[in-house]
Structure 1
């Protein structure tokens, strides 16, 4: 909307210069940037680094694995709406070829990889959402008003209303993959060096010192004999040196000796870029039973919770009608990520029931069990006894 005489200045995504490409254009071309190591870190190249692939998979699949619910706000309470039509799109099939799990996983994955974030179009028929489609990267684009930040969406041939687009934006207007490109570039360089070290012998173990006066043919024969005896599959044989030859082994400097430590440091560095505790990515060097559980809680509170809040807001804005948006919300069930072992859960539920914080039926619902008669009462089973049945004679008199 424009209010004369004020106009809004927008930055169209399609009007970029190849002479001076910005981060968005480079991301659209599949190139994030050339790192200080000289390695171009594209999304496909970054995903070849195991810790990067693990981080993206861990966050996206953890979010998609949570149960999605629609709730209606009544005062200070949120009441489940189990028969809301949106649940069929988010839990079962978003469209004819994509399940709800795949859709949510892909939206979060795009937000972790692309500066443009994760986007999906909501197809409405008669004002109701009938399917959700995630387009290939670059098909669904948007431009941003430089003054207000308003986003306008379009495909190749048509404009799409903003309310019909689920858009999950990364923090800092940059995807974690973009912010970690230097750390990823170093990890790629270390991987390549390790591959060359073990496949081609990037650094020789030593040198043969040949005295003066040894002819060229003798040198060739000595070199061929040494390689035949001590390289390839026939390593470890006893060395025989002749004509005054000697072998001088090479020593590794401090950087070579700490090559493994450098690779471990890159795991921690990339984990910091994605805001994931290192033990969640397989770095168990300093993990213990106590701090592993704490790291799991940190993963939910500091890693997943911001993404869940942002995705809940993006879905609420794009999926509900104007009337429903006032009193309906979409929630992901966090309890699936905080479940402890059965013994711990039973002890916790019993303690909450005894303190009258929850009733038995609420505790049974946490265990996936149906409610039972009389289970809605807030009673302490340790001090409250069920009313005793009257004696048989008294019961008969009452019946007469």
Structure 2
């Protein structure tokens, strides 16, 4: 459309909303830098990130760790081993085994080089496990083979004394999601600035005349002193000299801003491979999908990290001879514990079908065995004689 030269073209004003700010607006208000750079410490201050790191690392450290020895076709638990004692007891004089495993996984999630642990050995036997500061123990990888070369305090260190836990890529999950985390952090800062100002964004004060530089400073100082901050929120404004106040548009209550923040939580959940419900984003969580999400967490998130830990323990804490028939293994039975009624039903079914004996199931829950509990019998057929043979049991069923 061509407008006549003697008439000005209409001016189209685009209405902006502070409830759903763009990246440019976030930079304008100082909420996010143009480089979207964020350090590890600041990234961990984002609640979704710290929650994801904690739930993975603490879940891994909470599981029972056992040392298995293969005897024939079966495996037996090894009760006493220096490496096992360090991981299940005191790793060193100031760190427990739980804290060590937790910090190993947390380091692998947040550091590109992974978590590095120094193993003090005496005559080939592990005596102490220490996670030094990042600058103390360093690692360089061969350009062709990827073989790691370690240094401790600038001196070369043998790989037999260094335990390393890392992810599958050259960068950790935190680094790979740095842009998403930076955006979430910026939106958190933006929301904090917004609400700390009494939920009132900046507005405009219009006066009919000229105030001058000193007059503007005086009016703004008086306005902030009277109405700025949370303590003064909701007070009635009084203007003079014909001045009027026009507040900028704020539509954060319409859900757009909250939806944007929720999306960033989903992005962080994807980066760490945990369900949003585990980060307490419960929008789509139901009673039906909660159990399946928990199983997915064990299968697709926790188990791979446990395999990495087991491999690191086997490589450094076991001798070449021990690795032939010994292996470290986390016990995942605790992750499958259901409520009492469901467990009782499952146990009853396993006993009556003679898959497990009562004493085997009692051992799962840490209870002592009882006499006669090693029989693979169906108590529903003949309670008095749990050891009946198949013929007598079939007769009882026929009767």
TM-score, with structure 1 as normaliser: 0.80
SS in 1 for 2:249: coil
Asked if structure 1 preserves the Cα contact closer than 8 Å seen for 2:198 and 2:228, the reply is: no
RMSD: 2.9
Asked if structure 1 preserves the Cα contact closer than 8 Å seen for 2:109 and 2:166, the reply is: no
Counting only pairs closer than 5 Å after superposition, residues 321-336 of structure 1 correspond to structure 2 as 321-336=319-334
Counting only pairs closer than 5 Å after superposition, residues 294-309 of structure 1 correspond to structure 2 as 294-309=292-307
The answer to whether 1:120 aligns with 2:98 is no
User: Deviation digits for residues 142-165 of structure 1, max 9, x if unmatched?
Assistant: 222222222222212432221222
Counting only pairs closer than 5 Å after superposition, residues 104-115 of structure 1 correspond to structure 2 as 104-115=101-112
Distance 1:226 1:71, change over 3 A: closer
How many residues are treated as equivalent by the alignment?
A: 354
Asked if structure 2 preserves the Cα contact closer than 8 Å seen for 1:153 and 1:162, the reply is: yes
Counting only pairs closer than 5 Å after superposition, residues 198-217 of structure 1 correspond to structure 2 as 198-200=195-197, 204=201, 206-211=203-208
Q: Which residue of 1 aligns with 2:136?
A: 139
Asked if structure 2 preserves the Cα contact closer than 8 Å seen for 1:37 and 1:186, the reply is: no
Asked if structure 2 preserves the Cα contact closer than 8 Å seen for 1:71 and 1:80, the reply is: yes
Of 371-380 and 175-184, more deviation after overlay is shown by: 371-380
TM-score, with structure 2 as normaliser: 0.80
Which structure 2 segments of 5+ residues have no match? 1-31, 387-399
The answer to whether 1:161 aligns with 2:135 is no
Asked if structure 1 preserves the Cα contact closer than 8 Å seen for 2:202 and 2:248, the reply is: yes
Counting only pairs closer than 5 Å after superposition, residues 1-400 of structure 1 correspond to structure 2 as 37-200=34-197, 204=201, 206-211=203-208, 230-232=227-229, 233-238=231-236, 245-252=243-250, 258-387=256-385
Shift of 1:240: 5.7
Q: Distance in 2 between matches of 1:152 and 1:214?
A: 70
Which structure 1 segments of 5+ residues have no match? 1-34, 389-400
SS in 2 for 1:68: strand
Distance 1:371 1:251, change over 3 A: same
Q: Distance in 2 between matches of 1:130 and 1:332?
A: 21
User: Deviation digits for residues 176-228 of structure 1, max 9, x if unmatched?
Assistant: 11111001110111122122212347963643443358999998887777667
Q: Distance in 1 between matches of 2:95 and 2:376?
A: 44
Q: Distance in 2 between matches of 1:239 and 1:44?
A: 41
Distance 1:208 1:147, change over 3 A: closer
